[in-house]
Amino acid sequence: MLRHHEIAEADHRILNPFTEEKLRLLGEVSRIGPGTRILDLACGKGEMLCRWAADFGSAGHGVDLSEVFLAAARERAVELDVAGRVTFERGDAGRYRAAERFDVVACLGATWIGGGLTGTIGLMRPALADGGLLLIGEPYWIDDPPEAASEALGFAPGDFASLAGTLDRFEAAGLELVEMVLADPDSWDRYVASQWWTIHEWLRANPGDPDAPAMREFAAASRRSYLAYNRRYLGWGVFVLRAAAA
């Protein structure tokens, strides 16, 4: 699956349903500034760390499994002249043990690293400095989905909740939701529909590649499930959280 994503998202910088504008807005509402230290678990191509370092003067460390994405992250850091302030390492973010505390600990679009939202909150918290922020990018159901939706989208039925149900999950974990930025249908299209083009072009250039049949299936399933269910029922946002007052 990782290989499929590396091919499908070869032309993406942001590997989630946010546009550059929404990513910048998230940095603003999270009060990212000079010296803010950020740990990004499952950082992908590191666009958040690099862009925020360039725009807001922050610093940070990213962990991801994909060497392909990490190579792009390191290149981007050089391109934006922030390589002195952001670092990247390959590893399983679900097993990552931070040697220091961070002002912000982020996990955008990968809460499977901790076996779901609650488990991922549990593994993010030890890396967080007192008073720091957790940024969690997570899907939510916009409307009650038909039974077939979870299966078509590759989720277990209870993996995600409504927005209010997601709030319940945060509160049950002892967190207060202090801000959020949500994707919208147009920004979802930029994330998903643009992958169809990338795969289409890759298949034209690599018709005999051993991954070609799987990529054809991947694109076909993505198109169908996105149009049938994702676009209507599934939202995505980044939730800005702080430990609730005792």
Give me the residues that bind ligand SAM (CB under 6 A), please: 2, 14-16, 42-44, 47, 63-66, 69, 92-94, 108-110, 113
Which of 2, 129 has the CB closer to ligand SAM?
2
Which of 15, 127 has the CB closer to ligand SAM?
15
Report DSSP state, residue 9.
T
Residue nearest to ligand SAM (CB): 44
Which of 94, 145 has the CB closer to ligand SAM?
94
**φ/ψ (deg, to 5) at 186:** -70, -40
Closest CA to 106 of 54, 165, 2, 181: 181
What is the 3-state secondary structure of 111-158?
Answer: HHHHCCHHHHHHHHHHHEEEEEEEEEEEEEECCCCCHHHHHHHCCCCC
3-state secondary structure of 234: strand
Contact 223, 199 (CB under 8 A): no
Report DSSP state, residue 193.
H
**Cα 102 from Cα 105, distance rounded (Å):** 6
Residues 6+ apart with CB under 8 A from 10: 198, 202
**Cα 49 from Cα 62, distance rounded (Å):** 8
